[in-house]
Amino acid sequence: MDLQIRLRTTPRLQNIRNTISFLLILAAPTLVQSKSASIELESSYRFLVSDTEATGGVLYLATAGQLQGKRLPLSFVDSAAYWGEHVCQLPGNICTILDTYNPQMYTLLPQKSLAGDLQTERINTHDGANIYDAATWQIAVMLGHVINHFRIPDNQDAYALVNNQNQLLQEGYSGNASHAGVGANRAITAGEVFVYNHQFISNPKHAYTFRMLPRNWLSSDPFSGTRYADQIKTNALPTHNPDYQPGKVTWTDWKPITGENAWAFLLGPLHAAYINYVIDLKKTFIPYQDRAVQNALDLLPTFAAMQSPSGAVYYAPAGTVANQGDQLINSYEVAVENNFSLYAGLQILRATLQSTLENEITLSAADKAVINKALQLSDAMINGGTLEGNRQTAGLLVFFKDSAWRNGEFVQGGFADDPKRESRWVANSQRKAVDVNTWGVAALGARQIDQWFGFGTSYQNWQQVKQWGGYGAGKTLWGVGFSDQDGNGLNADGTYRQGILSTEWTAGAILMVRNMLAYYQTIPQASSQYDTARRFLETLERDEQSMLTAIKNLRIDTYATVRFPGQPSNYTKLLSLPTQPYLYASKRYLIPFGWYANPLPSTCATAWMLMLENRYNPFVYGGTQ
C-alpha cells in the first residue's frame, strides 16, 4: 500500500511525512544524476583507470619483479609540446641542458642551473607518482566502480587494481626497476641520513616511503625522441652500458614526508578497503590480513617515533633535502597540514581495527594482541600518553588546539620542541596555507572547532581564508589557490582577484564548506544561535554551489574555452586527450611551498572530483560528513 495513503494527517504523522519528503529531496542529488553529468564523470573516471599509452589514461604497466604485469598510477599526463612550446618559451626560462655521467656515482645528471631545474621538473612530472596522488586515486577508483557503476577496461577487478599500489609500497622498488631491490624506495636510516626523531630504522617495511616514486631509477625526459630532443646534450656517457643515453636522467627526488605517508599507508588504502569490503561486499569489517591493514600496522610505530612531546608530528626525518635547493630540512620542522592528514588516518585506522576486532571471528590471540597494541599507540598519539620507548606526548588534539591555532586560523607550520629555540612551539608566520584550514575543518569537524574557540569560529575561519586565498570573477567565488602569496583574495570593493585556481585545493574548500553546512544545519530552532546559523548557511550554500560550478572550468575539455590569466595559448594543440581529466591548476606557478603548479591533467585533481561528486569525505571513517 502507498505510504502516503496509509499515513493519517495527524500533526505527528504529518511531521513524519514532511520529514520523509525532506530526506528524499536531500538524497535525490546523490542518487540521480543527469545523463550528461554522468557521461562527463565517467570520462573523467576513464582517465584514472586507463593506460597512459594511446588511451588517454594515467596508468603504466610495471615490469619489475613481483610487480610485473601490474598497472600503477602516475601523477600527471604531460606532453613534449607543453614543455617545449609553453614552459620553455616563458620569460627567463632556458631549456637547453647538458647531462653529465659520473662514473663514481653511476649517475647521469644535469648541471645545477635553471635549465637543470626545468629538466628535473619535467622528468618528475613525466615519470613520477606522488604517493599522495596515488592514495586519492585508490579512493576514486573504488568509488567510481562501486557507487557510480563505471566499468574498468578489460573488466579488471577494481580492488585488485588499487591493491597494486599497496603491493608497490610493500615491495619497496619501482615498477619498472631493471634490478628490483627490496627497500630501494624506502627511507632506511643510513648514518645521519633519514634519522626518525633520533631513532634509527633499518627494516624497510617500517621506513617511510619517498614521496615521489619513479617508474625507474633512470628516467626519461619527455623531450626524448621528439623534435625537442636536440635541447638535451650529454657528456662522458659510458660506452659499455647502453642504459645511459641522451634523454635518460637519474632520479633525484628522495624525500620521505609524513603527510604523504599518512595518505599512502592510512587514508588511501583503508578507504579503498572499506569501499570494497563494507560498501560493495556488505561485510562488517576489513580482514586483518588484507595488505592495506598490514601496511598500516607496519608503519604505525614510525609515525609514533616522529611525534614530539608537544604532540606535533615532525615533517620529515633528519637528513631529508628540502623541496628546493640542496639544504637539509630542520628535523624539528612541523607542517600542520601533514598532522591533519595523519590525525585523520589514525582515526580511520582505529575505527578499522576496532571493527575487525569485534567482527572477525578467526583472529588468533596474537592477532588480537597486535590490534590492541596498535589501538593503544594510536590513542596516545591522538589524545596524549605514553609512546614506545617510554616517551610522553601531549597528543595531536592538544597540539591543534593550543599551538596550531593562531588569530582565527591554523598556521602553516613551525618548529616543535627544538632545543635550540626558546619556546616549545615556534610558529611560521611568513606565509599562510589554504589547505591547512580547509583540511583542518574537514578532519576535526566544524563542531569540534566551534566547541574549542566559540560558536561560529569555523565559519569565520572560512571568511578569513576567502579574504586572502579566494579566487573568483567579480563578486562570485570560483575557488581557492594555495597561499596568501598567490595574488588571490578580495579587493576593497568585494570583488575577487585572479591569481591562480587549484582544482585539488578548491575541492578541499568545498569539503570544508560541506562540513560546516552539515554542522550548522543541526542548530535547533529553539537555540539562541539559530538565526546566526541560518545566515551562515545562506553564505555557505552559495559558496558551495559557485565553487562546484566554477571548478568544472578546470576540466580539460572546458579549460581552453575559459579565459584564465596565464593560460597557455593554443592549449588544445599542446595537449589533447580522449578522456576528460581535471587539470591541477589554472596556470603554471611556483607555489610558495616549493613546487610548481602546471595546467596538466592530474590524478589527484580528477580523483578529488570523484570524491566530491559522491560526497565522500576522505578525512573520516566511511567517508561520511
Return the pLDDT at 325. 73
In eight-state DSSP terms, residue 267 is I
User: Phi/psi zone of residue 278: left (φ > 0), alpha (ψ -120 to 50 degrees), beta?
Assistant: alpha
624 in any annotated domain: no
Does 7 reside within a domain?
yes
The two beta strands, 97-102 and 232-235, are parallel
HEC per residue, 439-491: HHHHHHCHHHHHHHHCCCHHHHHHHHHHHHHEEEECCEEEEECCECCCCCCEC
Residues 6+ apart with CB under 8 A from 326: none
Q: Which three cell numbers stand for residue 472?
A: 573568483
Which element (helix H / strand E) includes 213? strand 212-214
Of 112, 106, 111, nearest to 244 by C-alpha is: 106
Strand partners, 328: 321
Residue-wise DSSP of 29-45: HHH---HHHHHHHHHHH
Give the count of beta carbons closer than 10 Å to the beta carbon of residue 218: 21
Residue 49 in contact with residue 191, Cβ under 8 Å? no
Average pLDDT of each block of 10 consecutive residues along the chain (625 residues)?
31 38 34 60 97 90 94 97 97 96 94 94 97 98 97 94 97 82 88 96 96 94 96 93 93 96 98 98 98 98 98 97 86 97 98 98 98 98 96 98 97 96 92 97 98 98 98 98 97 97 98 98 97 98 98 96 94 94 97 94 98 97 89
Where is 396: in which H helix or E strand? Answer: helix 396-399
Query: Phi and psi for 143 in degrees, rounded to 5?
Result: -60, -50
The pLDDT value given to residue 32: 38
Count of C-beta atoms within a 10 Å radius of residue 475: 12
C-alpha torsion 83→253→608→519, nearest 10: -130
- Residue 26 included in any domain: yes
- Sequence-ordered list of residues with C-beta below 8 angstroms from that of 476, at least 6 positions apart, any chain: 496, 546, 550
* Gap between the Cα atoms of 128 and 141, Å rounded: 19
List the beta bridge partners of residue 209.
Answer: 186
CB atoms within 10 A of CB 543: 23
Max Cα distance, the chain (Å): 91
Cα 403 to chain centroid distance, Å, stands at 24
Whether 617 contacts 624, CB under 8 Å: yes
Q: How is residue 315 written as a grid cell?
A: 615533517
Task: Tell me which residue of 161, 162, 209, 167 sits closest to 184, measured CA to CA.
Answer: 209
Domains contained in the chain, number: 1
Give a yes or no: residue 27 inside a domain.
yes
Residues 6+ apart with CB under 8 A from 357: 363, 368, 371, 372, 375
Query: In this structure, what are the phi and psi dihedrals at residue 16, rounded to the nearest 5 degrees?
Result: -65, -45
Q: How far is CA 136 from the centre of its chain?
A: 6
Judge whether 2 lies within some domain.
Answer: yes
DSSP state of 426: E
Return the closest-CA partner of residue 180 out of 69, 67, 65.
Answer: 65
Q: What is the pTM of this model?
A: 0.93
Cα Rg, the chain, nearest whole Å: 25
Residue 3: inside a domain: yes
310 inside domain:
no
Q: In terms of residues, how long is the chain?
A: 625
Structural domain of 9: 1-32
Residue 214 CB partners (closer than 8 Å, separation 6+): 127, 128, 129, 174, 251, 253
Task: Assess if residue 416 is contained within a domain.
Answer: no
Neighbouring residues of 298: CB distance < 8 A, sequence distance ≥ 6 = 205, 206, 265
Dihedral (CA of 531, 536, 539, 545) sign: negative
CA distance 615 to 30: 8
Bridge partners for 601 per DSSP: 583
Core vs surface per residue 87-118: b (16+ CB within 10 A) or e: bbeeeeeebebebebeeeeebbbbeeeebbbb
